[in-house]
């Protein structure tokens, strides 16, 4: 069904709007099933060196992947050539994270070949799903920010924006999480162990990156300073690995270029000859360590030197690549801002601002003012968090030692900015101190957010609320200095992966009801809105949801040996574990509910399964304790015959993109319950709504906008607003008093704190809970009552299945706006200026 639609329609006009002309149409359906099967066997034989009779599932996976990859190459070259020929402006998306997940289903689906691939494999005696699940997730990211970069790559290819993603090819992506006795255990994720059939190594595309050393001044004969020359003490080689990224209907293929570090001299021959064989490999080990592992802390600054090295390494390699490409095509750099938009995904690549300045000043001898103008017109920056602990800053001493020339440049930029603030805008000393690129109180540090801000012509937040808070808080002074720069670009998600691929049953149902035009423009999902009143449709919709829940229940049984009933309400909170995301609020409410069910077994409780999933940063003590608590509470509740069938708790280990693709379509209720003002946007919230879950959430991040789109009656909003949170914090919030006035909450907290769920270590949660009494920074107690009441409204609605389904259908129908195609078009028009 879906396949036919993809194959037949070759209507690309409505996907684009780019200045770039239309690419010649590709006949997506040109290959028939027997030919495809033949190609797979050839690939197996001549590239894998295997005969079908001895091939393993894994061999088949590689063979099929290579066939599909080959089919992307012509398009890829075509896209590149056309951009070059038409002298189109290119977008460079710099991100330390790309959380892509698996690629095979995505590529097949976008090329309209999924069904034919399944048929071809069946004809060879191979089951597609069985080989597809062997593909490892490319988990080169922590969470939201990395997944957003992946959705953006797919959308840029879809809406025909010529773009390159730049990042790091981590050998070890985000760790694999095991749960052992309820505790998180981190294991290395070795996604490259069996090779990576998607990537092309480009040895010829390699650049040297320097660290440390000294800066020499070159003076003219009359003693005037002419220029600076940085003499790095160490060098490593950045080697490019390219992965093609195909858009919907194979429209365009862009490049994701990931850098891998290699030694400039793999073996130090003098040491080797002197018999020091280990010492001879020292360089090699040191270089390769650079791109070995992704830092697993999100929303938390890792102060390690290696992290700063990673940031500079990939920034420097990417900028050399960009500048070289520009020079080879245009022969000069004055036109860089007209032909290149470089986007900073948070501050992680912010050192790029200083690096471009260095290239312009020191390598190309452009004067400071011109270089600064080029730089600002080229860069744009997205902020993803306001949490103070996540704002990146580096000790001046470290920065200076690693990047001595960049430190000088940062000082020079700072002098320029502070002069402007003081003289032109007459800012006072306090404001000057806040605007400075250097934090002066305590250890002196370079503020990467301020650097990214002043070096960019556009600074955007990721939801309407977040953008307003940016203006009022972290960037209040810089916003006064440069009032036009901050703008909003509410996040989005790609409907290909997050609806069509992960929820084929809902996609087919939608096609049946409203035709297939929503596949090219998800706004047309709004045609479903009227079907909310159609009893027959509601039943079909409920059956789709039921089937997705059965699929999840099967996975839960296989992986954990736990039985869950698909007719219960599936209530899901999946995301990184963070105190501000308030998994603790959810658990405490579950404990309170458990208590209620036990005290009032006669009441008509609605059966519910509460799912949790997510990873904690390995060094984040409380987050890990919250995982343990969820598991402890699950053990006690799931075993208690008094609540059997009414309440079950499941902590799903190793939440990742692939698991998200199974859990999200199975959700009835989406938990988006962060302390208002703290979640910049959220994107899980959008994925759940698009798959027909109702949201229970606070007025935080993009929840605010989701509420506006789905309507107040189709979402459960509770709790303090961001303004109220700020107000409570400012005016002396006393959680202890509040807790003591709420018996259900007090009892739940007392139970946890006294060891009801941890009998062998009764004090395990004492500190965690006493934090709620003492300060409760995340307002768990303040929002508890409102949350518990909202959950009882959820139960009430759940009793009325037709009404629940109607609201769920409204959600699906009304969230098309949260497509990352929309987001990317906004970036393309308003920031990058690559679209009209």
Position among 145, 564, 673, 722 found at the interface with ligand 26Q (CB under 6 A)? 145
Instruction: Check 50, 447, 581, 814 and give the catalytic one.
Output: 581
By CB under 6 A, tell whether 675 contacts ligand 26Q: no
Q: Is 8 a catalytic residue?
A: no
Q: How far is the CB of 199 from ligand 26Q (least distance, A)?
A: 23
By CB under 6 A, tell whether 447 contacts ligand 26Q: no
Which of residues 283 and 700 has its CB atom nearest to ligand 26Q in the complex? Answer: 700
Position among 101, 144, 197, 263 found at the interface with ligand 26Q (CB under 6 A)? 144
d(CA 429, CA 65): 60
By CB under 6 A, tell whether 148 contacts ligand 26Q: yes
Q: How many residues does the chain have?
A: 836
Strand residue runs (E) in 134-276: 138-140, 163-168, 176-180, 183-187, 200-211, 214-219, 225-231, 234-246, 253-263
Q: Is 118 a catalytic residue?
A: no
Whether 258 contacts 241, CB under 8 Å: yes
By CB under 6 A, tell whether 665 contacts ligand 26Q: no
- According to CB under 6 A, which residues from 765 to 794 bind ligand 26Q? none
> Which stretch, 161-169, 291-299, 588-596, 658-666, contacts ligand 26Q (CB under 6 A)?
291-299
Q: Is 575 a catalytic residue?
A: yes
DSSP H stretches of helix in 274-420? 277-280, 282-290, 305-330, 336-339, 351-358, 368-378, 396-402, 404-419
DSSP H stretches of helix in 47-141? 57-85, 104-110, 114-123, 128-132
- According to CB under 6 A, which residues from 450 to 489 bind ligand 26Q? 462
Instruction: Check 147, 384, 582, 764 and give the catalytic one.
Output: 384
Instruction: Check 257, 615, 687, 814 and give the catalytic one.
Output: 687
> Which stretch, 23-31, 181-189, 294-302, 334-342, contacts ligand 26Q (CB under 6 A)?
294-302
Which of residues 20 and 385 has its CB atom nearest to ligand 26Q in the complex? Answer: 385
Which of residues 307 and 829 has its CB atom nearest to ligand 26Q in the complex? Answer: 307
Which of residues 304 and 329 has its CB atom nearest to ligand 26Q in the complex? Answer: 304
Q: How far is the CB of 295 from ligand 26Q (least distance, A)?
A: 4
Q: Is 35 a catalytic residue?
A: no
d(CA 444, CA 466): 28
> Which stretch, 115-123, 209-217, 322-330, 676-684, contacts ligand 26Q (CB under 6 A)?
676-684
Q: How far is CA 369 from CA 225, 357, 373, 403, in A?
A: 16, 10, 6, 22
By CB under 6 A, tell whether 449 contacts ligand 26Q: no
* DSSP 8-state code for residue 522: G
Q: Are strands 253-263 and 340-345 parallel, antiparallel or unpaired?
A: unpaired
Is 34 strand, coil or helix?
helix
* DSSP 8-state code for residue 25: P
Q: How far is the CB of 488 from ligand 26Q (least distance, A)?
A: 12
Total number of residues that touch ligand 26Q (CB under 6 A): 24
Is 574 strand, coil or helix?
strand
Q: How far is the CB of 153 from ligand 26Q (least distance, A)?
A: 14
Q: How far is the CB of 518 from ligand 26Q (least distance, A)?
A: 24
Position among 172, 352, 479, 491 found at the interface with ligand 26Q (CB under 6 A)? 491
> Which stretch, 334-342, 528-536, 562-570, 677-685, contacts ligand 26Q (CB under 6 A)?
677-685
Instruction: Check 118, 471, 575, 814 and give the catalytic one.
Output: 575
d(CA 466, CA 470): 6
Which of residues 462 and 637 has its CB atom nearest to ligand 26Q in the complex? Answer: 462
d(CA 230, CA 228): 6
By CB under 6 A, tell whether 167 contacts ligand 26Q: no
By CB under 6 A, tell whether 613 contacts ligand 26Q: no
d(CA 647, CA 638): 7
Q: How far is CA 684 from CA 494, 663, 690, 695, 701, in A?
A: 12, 11, 10, 11, 11
Q: How far is the CB of 205 from ligand 26Q (least distance, A)?
A: 27
Is 309 strand, coil or helix?
helix
Instruction: Check 471, 545, 576, 608 and give the catalytic one.
Output: 576
d(CA 225, CA 246): 50
* Terminal C-alpha separation, the chain: 34
> Which stretch, 357-365, 560-568, 680-688, 801-809, contacts ligand 26Q (CB under 6 A)?
680-688
- DSSP for 664-730, written as a single string: GGG-SEEEE-PPTT--S--SHHHHHHHTTPEEEE-S-TTHHHHHHHH-GGGSEE-S--HHHHHHHHH
Q: Write the binding mask 365 to 404 for ligand 26Q: x where contact by CB under 6 A, - elsewhere.
A: -------------------xx----x-x------------
d(CA 689, CA 702): 12
Q: How far is the CB of 772 from ligand 26Q (least distance, A)?
A: 22
* DSSP 8-state code for residue 616: -
* DSSP 8-state code for residue 350: T
- According to CB under 6 A, which residues from 701 to 740 bind ligand 26Q? 701
Residue 216 CA to chain centroid, in angstroms?
Answer: 41
Strand residue runs (E) in 486-593: 486-488, 569-574
Residue with the CB atom nearest ligand 26Q in the bound state: 144
Whether 500 contacts 508, CB under 8 Å: no
> Which stretch, 144-152, 521-529, 641-649, 687-695, contacts ligand 26Q (CB under 6 A)?
144-152
Which of residues 588 and 702 has its CB atom nearest to ligand 26Q in the complex? Answer: 702
Please identify every residue annotated as catalytic: 384, 575-576, 581, 683, 687
Contact residues toward ligand 26Q (CB under 6 A) are 142-145, 148, 295, 297-299, 301-302, 307, 384-385, 390, 392, 462, 491, 679-683, 701
């Amino acid at each position: 069904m879906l396949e036919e639609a993809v194959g037949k329609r070759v209507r690309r006009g409505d996907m684009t709007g780019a200045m770039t002309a239309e690419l010649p149409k590709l006949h997506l359906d040109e290959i028939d099933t027997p030919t495809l099967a033949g190609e797979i066997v050839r690939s197996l034989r001549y590239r894998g060196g295997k005969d079908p009779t001895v091939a393993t599932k894994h061999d088949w996976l590689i063979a099929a992947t290579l066939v599909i990859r080959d089919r992307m190459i012509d398009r890829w070259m075509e896209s590149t050539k056309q951009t070059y020929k038409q002298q189109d402006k290119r977008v460079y998306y710099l991100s330390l994270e790309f959380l892509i997940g698996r690629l095979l289903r995505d590529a097949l689906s976008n090329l309209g070949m999924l069904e034919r691939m399944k048929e071809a494999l069946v004809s060879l005696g191979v089951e597609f799903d069985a080989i597809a699940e062997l593909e490892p997730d490319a988990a080169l990211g922590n969470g939201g920010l990395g997944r957003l970069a992946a959705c953006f790559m797919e959308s840029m290819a879809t809406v025909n924006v010529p773009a390159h993603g730049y990042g790091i090819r981590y050998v070890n992506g985000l760790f694999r999480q095991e749960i052992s006795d309820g505790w998180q255990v981190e294991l290395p994720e070795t996604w490259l162990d069996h090779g990576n059939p998607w990537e092309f190594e480009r040895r010829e595309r390699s650049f040297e990156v320097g660290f440390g050393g000294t800066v020499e001044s070159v003076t003219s004969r009359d003693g005037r300073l002419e220029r600076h020359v940085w003499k790095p003490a160490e060098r490593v080689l950045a080697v490019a690995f390219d992965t093609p990224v195909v858009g919907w209907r194979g429209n365009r293929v862009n490049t994701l270029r990931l850098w891998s570090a290699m030694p400039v001299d793999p073996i130090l021959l003098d040491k080797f000859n002197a018999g020091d064989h280990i010492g001879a490999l020292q360089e090699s080990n040191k270089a390769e360590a650079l791109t070995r592992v992704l830092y697993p802390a999100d929303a938390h600054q890792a102060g390690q030197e290696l992290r700063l090295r990673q940031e500079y390494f990939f920034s420097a390699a990417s900028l050399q690549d960009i500048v070289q490409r520009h020079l080879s095509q245009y022969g000069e750099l004055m036109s860089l801002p007209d032909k290149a938009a470089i986007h900073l995904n948070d501050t992680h690549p912010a050192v790029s601002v200083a690096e471009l300045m260095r290239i312009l000043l020191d390598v190309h001898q452009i004067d400071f003012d011109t270089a600064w103008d080029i730089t600002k017109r080229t860069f744009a920056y997205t902020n993803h968090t306001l949490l103070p602990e996540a704002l990146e800053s580096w000790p001046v001493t470290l920065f200076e030692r690693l990047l001595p020339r960049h430190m000088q440049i940062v000082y020079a930029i700072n002098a320029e900015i502070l002069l402007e603030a003081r003289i032109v805008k007459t800012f006072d000393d306090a404001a000057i101190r806040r605007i400075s690129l250097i934090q002066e109180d305590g250890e002196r540090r370079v503020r990467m957010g301020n650097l990214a801000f002043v070096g960019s012509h556009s600074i955007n937040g990721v939801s309407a609320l977040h953008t307003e808070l940016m203006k009022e808080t972290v960037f209040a002074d810089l916003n006064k200095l440069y009032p036009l720069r901050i703008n909003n670009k509410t996040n989005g998600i790609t409907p290909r992966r997050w609806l069509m691929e992960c929820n084929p049953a809902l996609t087919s149902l939608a096609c049946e009801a409203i035709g297939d035009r929503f596949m090219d423009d998800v706004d047309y999902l709004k045609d479903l809105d009227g079907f909310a009143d159609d009893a027959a449709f509601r039943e079909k919709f409920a059956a789709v949801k039921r089937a997705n829940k059965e699929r999840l229940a099967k996975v839960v049984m296989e992986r954990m040996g736990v039985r869950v009933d698909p007719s219960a309400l599936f209530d899901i909170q999946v995301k990184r574990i963070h105190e501000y995301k308030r998994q603790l609020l959810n658990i405490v409410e579950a404990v309170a509910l458990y208590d209620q069910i036990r005290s009032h077994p006669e009441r008509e409780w609605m059966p519910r399964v509460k799912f949790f999933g997510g990873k904690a940063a390995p060094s984040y003590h409380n987050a890990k304790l919250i995982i343990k608590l969820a598991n402890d509470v699950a053990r006690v509740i799931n075993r208690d015959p008094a609540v059997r069938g009414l309440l079950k708790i499941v902590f799903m280990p190793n939440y990742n993109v692939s698991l998200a693709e199974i859990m999200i379509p199975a959700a009835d209720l989406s938990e988006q319950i962060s302390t208002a003002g703290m979640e910049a946007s959220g994107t899980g919230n959008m994925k759940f709504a698009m798959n027909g879950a109702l949201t229970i959430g606070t007025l935080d991040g993009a929840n605010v906008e989701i509420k506006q789109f789905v309507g107040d009656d189709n979402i459960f909003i509770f709790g303090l607003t961001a303004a109220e949170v700020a107000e409570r914090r400012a005016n002396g919030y006393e959680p202890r008093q509040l807790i003591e006035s709420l018996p259900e909450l007090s009892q739940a907290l007392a139970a946890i704190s006294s060891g009801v769920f941890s009998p062998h270590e009764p004090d395990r949660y004492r500190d965690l809970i006493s934090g709620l009494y003492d300060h409760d920074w995340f307002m768990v107690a303040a929002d508890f009552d409102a949350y518990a009441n909202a959950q009882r409204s959820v139960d009430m609605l759940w009793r009325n299945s037709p009404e629940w389904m109607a609201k769920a259908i409204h959600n699906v129908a009304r969230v098309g706006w949260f497509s990352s195609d929309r987001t990317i078009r906004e970036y393309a028009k308003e920031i990058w200026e690559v679209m009209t």
